[in-house]
Amino acid sequence: MKPRAAIICASNPGNAGMYSVDLAAVDFMTRNSIDFDLFTSHAPSRRGRYRLLPLGIDIGHQPRETFGNLIFKRFSKMSQLSRYSHVLYWGDFTPNPVYGQEDFHRVQRRYDVRSSGEQSLDRWARLFNFSGGKTVSKIIAVGNNFQHDYSVDSDLYQKYLQNLGSNFDLIMPRDLFSVANLKSVLTVPSDSKVRPGLDPAFLLRGASGDDDTRKEPIFCYRFARSKIPSSERFLSELEKATGCRGVHLSQWDKFAPSGADSLFSQYISDIRRSRFVVTDLYHLAINAMRLGVPVFGLGNPAESQRGSLGDFKKKILFKMLNLERFYIEVDPGGSQGVDGLIEHIGRELPLYEQNLPDIYSRKNRLVQAFEDDLLSALVH
């Protein structure tokens, strides 16, 4: 039987990184001739809806809404999945019980101001954890984060982890730390059920660093997560040290629906022609990596993943790809932090540029293995 896939996306299309994750779903399914529909539990809102909700006025959702070149169906009940042979929970943290306990309620409140924490969790459990029972579809979690320490407040997560292990047919976390962590907490045999994956954004095809794109004396940057000391001075000194002009991807995390695809295309073009990228944003780093561009990741010191915005996920990403030397945990205090960053980037950039194929060889192998494994799960 030819597969037909329902792809359950996260609910943050206004972020260019998550836009690339969802574009990757369209790209992967289309080039492999697999029929699919995109779903999100919190579809992009109609204009003005957020402002009117606190007044008790709800102008409602369309059952099908667009964001850039993406078309989403609103995922509101499990019966919508009955037409599909495969259901894929695509990227981000959405099947993670920590997301259900925390982030989902904050998102849900934007759509239903009357929703209590208990009601939000119940809705997440039905839509993302199959608390009401498994559908007939093959259920796959693709490229999600499961890095949390579930032994902390284990009573909050135990039944949801049990459902995850029982109801999902295949789980392909986006990093090796998540793979090992999830295997350690699932109560079902997990060696065949939990297999290595990657963040789905890596599946987005397009021009690579091996094409004829001419490099220019520029670097791309965007900071929104780390405590960079004196960022203006850092950027000024970095321009002097490298001889490159900084190009600020200022709307990377502030996309609007109407111009999303043209802006994303412009940013990808900027990244491709830049000498390097420096950022503290997870998916901006991934998009540079997939395009074969040197990227320096910045983050706050982190020893574990706490919530979806924590920096541990970036640290693990760079480590998994053997790129630890290009990830910098930022000292939040004083000018010495700036000088250290400049020195580090200036020292490592020539090596990075000279050895790009070797440096990204592990990434290329993992992407190919991820793609082959996922395609096999869909067609066999």
pLDDT digits (tens, 9 = 90+) for 204-228: 996 444 455 678 999 999 998 777 7
pTM of the model: 0.93
pLDDT reported for residue 48: 62
Please give the Cα distance from 363 to 202 (Å, whole number): 9
pLDDT by residue (tens digit) across 242-254?
999 999 999 998 8
Rounded to an integer, the average pLDDT of 303-309 is 73
Q: CA gyration radius for the chain? A: 21
**pLDDT over 70 for what percent of the chain?**
91
What string of DSSP letters covers 23-86? HHHHHHHHHTT-EEEEEESSPPPPTTHHHHGGGT------SEEEETTEEEEE---GGGGTT-SE
- What is the CATH code of the structural domain delimited by 218-363? 3.40.50.2000
Is 80 exceeded by the pLDDT of residue 105? Answer: yes
Say what the pLDDT of residue 178 is: 96
**What is residue 264's predicted lDDT score, i.e. its pLDDT?**
95
How is the chain split into domains, by residue range?
4-203+366-379, 218-363
Write the CA distances from 1 to 170, 257, 379, integer angstroms. Answer: 19, 36, 9
Report the pLDDT averaged over residues 112-118.
82
| pLDDT at site 332 | 62
The model's confidence at residue 236, banded by pLDDT at 50, 70 and 90, is very high
Query: Residue 136, Cα to own-chain centre: how many angstroms?
Result: 27
| 4-203+366-379 and 218-363 in the same fold | yes
Statement: residue 179 has pLDDT above 90? yes
From the candidate CATH numbers 3.40.50.150, 3.40.50.1110, 3.40.50.2300, 3.40.50.11930, the one assigned to the domain spanning 4-203+366-379: 3.40.50.11930
| Max CA distance (Å), the chain | 62
